[in-house]
Structures are given as structure tokens and as C-alpha cells.
Amino acid sequence: MSELPADAATRRAPHDQPFGPWVQTTLADGWGPEPVVAHPAVDGAAEAAADHRARLLAALGAGTVVVPAGTAPVRANDTVFGFRPASAYTWLTGDQAEGAVLVLDADGATVFLPPSAGPGTLTYVTDRREGALWVGGVPGAEPTARRLAVAVRPRTDLAADLAGRPGPVRLLAGVDADVDALLPGAASRELELTVDRLRAVKDAWEVDRLAEACAATARGFADVVAELPGLLAGDGRRGERWLEGTFWRRARFEGNDVGYSSIVAAGANGTSLHWAPVDGDIVAGQLLLADMGVETTSLYTADVTRTMPVSGSWTPVQRRVYDAVREAHLAGIAEVRAGNAFLAAHAAAQWVLADHLHRWGVTAWSADDALHPDLARPGAGAHRRYTLHSTSHLLGLDVHDCARVDGAEYLATTLQPGHALTVEPGLYFQVNDRTVPDELRGLAVRIEDDLVVTDGAARVLSDALPTDGDELVAWMADAGTQPRGL
């Protein structure tokens, strides 16, 4: 048996012990066949992906499309984050293999898979990137081809295959540096835009995946609420992190992961929109703003926010702010229907919030003044100090889906059946904001649901979690007493 291959040797860590010559001559021997690993694509993924590819080719016309899956990003030094493929790759294949590349043209789809060292090779045992004894078995070419209904070839053939293709060749660049180097000048903004424009409208299979994500997310919220009594009975120290971990366990059990870093913010921490430390205590009397979503095994994600009184009951001022945000939330949902502008929900929700702020004396400007289209007019946007963010974004494989589309085009979208989006108004009163009455400072409320546009009223996918203030605390009381199982 030869020495370790040069590339495998470079992947040895400094703490790895060297293999002596006798061991190297025996390591590859004595292994039976690897167990066959079934491809993990969920039912219907291959059929949906085939339809997505046909739509993409019809939109682009002649030529070749190259879409890499990407590789895991470095976390620190020689450790990496968990791999999650580029959304466009999964949308077009149903696959999630690290390092894979889709090549698509009118003759069909081919997935180029990276090597996986199997029995009979030294790297099977020694290679920390390709050796199955290090990374576990991966689906091979035959299970992948059968499950996804595509041709499968080794990635080592990719360069030669691309070299012989007539133009135009359109590359989704910035995903895999090695593929970018093979196709200098092939980066295609047209491809980026076309994929995201097509992904914006979900088919029935995709809507079902989003519904699954919302159902799992509701169970994760119940898990979190069930932990609150125990935290309050103790000292609540770093309780935000305990709750974050509680939800993450549900996401990992029922899906792939969380769809984004969970925002678990107690008390004044909720006024930081993307509260990143998630290390605060849980204290009686606080509001808990939890913005969390399960990403399914098919990679479609939910994005849901609820704001809850941790003690199970509202103070009068908490309820006043909460009810104002819920009124805005309902006004936004009512505008999510086919034929309406994407921004209609935002306009409706913001008007309600601006009106409450004016009636409370927080702003001197009426809702009509605050939402006046002439942004140079005095009072225009006066409410935004306390609302801060937009009311909606598209949702799907990415929590902020289809983000490669230009902002002006994105905001000018006319809703049609299949659009999936959030409605998430909020009010945030900073502890150091001298324009705000003392009783409001440090309060934060956001309510967020996930919706799909239909031919009639929008379908609220996340409605298993109540938003009515009375129903919410009743649900919390029930969730807090129910045994939580798998």
C-alpha cells in the first residue's frame, strides 16, 4: 500500500498521530461493502425540482446553467459550521450534498458529486473530509440518481464537462470558489434574478413544507412556554439561553435546524430588533419577545414571533401596547390577498400603529401625517422611531426569501396565489428614549405570522399559536401544565 495521498496528508491536523508503514499497508484491507445510504430527499422533492428546472429553462432560453451547492463555511481555525446548501441548488434538485454542482441544459440535469472514499482505500480510514469513517456514509451516485431522477457524475469530471459546452453558460457565482475559477466571466445576474423571481411564488408542494415548518414551530413555542415556570421558580439566570436551546432541540428533532438565529429577548432586550447576545435573565413581570422558526428537513423555514407575559398575565400598560400591535397585525393580514400590492399590509399596519402613537401622545402627528407619501413633509415618518422595521418579507427556503431581487422590484410586487410572506408589526420603546413616557420605556411587542396568498383570504400557516391577548395567556397556561414529549 502506498503512502498517504498528498492531499489527504495536508488534511491531517497537527494533533493527529502519523501512521507507520506497516499500518498503512493494512488499513485498507479487511473491510466489507459500506451499507447503502438512502438519499434523504423528502417525498415529492424530485418532482417539484423537475418542475422548477423546467420553469427556469423556459425563462432563460438556450444555454447551460451551473448552480453549486457550496461548502461549509469556516467557523474558526480548522472547524466549520454545519453545512447548509445554497437555496437555489436545493430548489432545482431536491438535493443537499455538500460540494455538489448542478449542470442544467435542454438535454437534462446532471449533478456532479464530490468523491467519498469507500472501503478498499486508505483514505476511507484516514481522510477527515472524504473518509466515510470520519464523516459517516453519504448517498452514492446510484441512490442519488434514482431518488432525484437526474444523471449523476463525479465532480472530478466537472471541469472537462464545462470546457466542452457551447454558450451561453450562466453561473450562480459566489457559492463555490472552485467552480467560479472554472468559469471566469460566467457569473450571471440574470440567473440570480430569474431563480429568485420564480421562487417567490410557491407551488403546492412548497406550501405544504412551509405548513410543516409552522406546525413544528408551534410545538417549539409550546416547549419554550413550558420552561417558564421552572425558570421563574429559580433565579432565571441566563434564561434566554435556556429557552433558545429548548427551541433549538425541537428544530433539530423535527427538522434540519433553526431557520435563522433565534431571537429570545426578555424585558428591555426586546427593544433590540435582532437581540444577539441572548443571555438575559427571565424575571417575573417581563414580556418575552420570541422570534423563532423551524427549518424543515426540506429546508423550508417558518418565521414566527410571539410576545408573551412570562408570568402568565398582562399589566395594563403591557396589554395596551400589545392590543395596539395586534390591531395593526390584523389590519395587515386583511390586506394580504391576490391583486393587492405587497406593501398594502405594511401601509395598513403602520397606519394603525401611527394612530395609536398619536392618541397616546407619543407623537404630535396624526397617522395621515405620519404616512404622508411626501417624505420631506414635516411629520412624515414620525412613527418610525418606534416601529423601526418593515411589516412583511417573502418567506420560503430562506427566511428572507428571494433577496437577490432588486429592492424596487421586490417592493413593487403584486401579490398572487402562492406568494408566501410574513406580517410582523411591532412597537419598540427604548429605555433611554426621552420622547416616550416612563411607563412605556423598555417595552417591546412584535407579533408575526406566516401567510400564503390564495384566491380568497390569505391562509395563515402559523395560526396554531393564538394572537388574541386572552387566548394567548390561556394557551400559555395550558402549555405550561402539559408534559412535553417528542
Q: Which residues pair with 104 in a beta bridge?
A: 65, 109
354: phi > 0 → left, psi -120 to 50 → alpha, else beta; which?
alpha
Phi, psi of 100 (to 5 degrees): -75, 160
% the chain with pLDDT above 70:
97
Dump pLDDT digits (tens) for 52-79: 999 999 999 999 999 999 999 999 998 8
Average pLDDT, the chain: 94
Distance CA 139, CA 123 (A): 17
- State the DSSP string of 352-397: HHHHHHHHTTS-SS-HHHHT-S-TTSTTTTTTHHHH-S-S--B-SS
CB 324 within 8 A of CB 283: no
Residues 383-404: b if buried by 16+ CB within 10 A, e if exposed = bebbbeeebbbbbbbbbebbeb
Dump pLDDT digits (tens) for 31-51: 998 888 899 999 999 999 999
* Residue keyed to cell 439561553: 241
**Looking at residues 5-23, what average pLDDT do you find?**
70
Dump pLDDT digits (tens) for 311-348: 999 999 999 999 999 999 999 999 999 999 999 999 99
Q: Residue 377: CB partners within 8 Å, gap ≥ 6?
A: 369
**Looking at residues 11-16, what average pLDDT do you find?**
77
* Model confidence at 243: pLDDT above 50: yes
Distance CA 221, CA 361 (A): 34
pLDDT (0 to 100) of residue 7:
47
Topology classification of domain 204-481: Creatine Amidinohydrolase (3.90.230)
For the chain, give me the number of helices (H) and strands (E)?
18, 17
Q: Which of 285, 293, 220 is nearest to 258 (CA)?
A: 293
Report the half-sphere exposure of 58 (CA within 13 A, side-chain side).
Answer: 7
Beta-strand relationship, 108-113 and 101-105? antiparallel
Q: Which of 206, 211, 197, 208 is nearest to 48 (CA)?
A: 206
pLDDT (0 to 100) of residue 409:
97
Dump pLDDT digits (tens) for 425-482: 999 999 999 999 999 999 999 999 999 999 999 999 999 999 999 999 999 999 967 7
The domain locations on the chain are 6-199, 204-481
Beta-strand relationship, 169-171 and 64-68? parallel
* Model confidence at 6: pLDDT above 60: no
Q: Do the two domains 6-199 and 204-481 of this chain adopt the same fold?
A: no
Q: Is the dihedral of CA 148, 154, 159, 160 positive or negative?
A: negative
CB 466 within 8 A of CB 472: yes
* Residue keyed to cell 426621552: 434
Distance CA 425, CA 432 (A): 22
pLDDT (0 to 100) of residue 11:
61
CB 184 within 8 A of CB 168: no
| Cα-based torsion angle of the residue sequence 361, 363, 368, 371 in order, rounded to the nearest 10 degrees | -150
CB 192 within 8 A of CB 400: no
By CB atoms closer than 10 A (0-12, 13-18, 19+), residue 217 is buried
Dump pLDDT digits (tens) for 146-186: 999 999 999 999 999 999 888 899 999 999 999 999 999 99
CB 100 within 8 A of CB 112: yes
Q: Which of 316, 242, 307 is nearest to 279 (CA)?
A: 242
Confidence band (pLDDT; 50, 70, 90) for 3?
A: very low
pLDDT (0 to 100) of residue 9:
41
Q: Residue 19: CB partners within 8 Å, gap ≥ 6?
A: 4, 27, 126
**Number of CB atoms found within 10 A of residue 235's CB:** 11
Dump pLDDT digits (tens) for 255-268: 999 999 999 999 99
Q: Assign domain 6-199 to its CATH superfamily.
A: Creatinase/prolidase N-terminal domain (3.40.350.10)
Q: Which of 150, 430, 67 is nearest to 272 (CA)?
A: 430
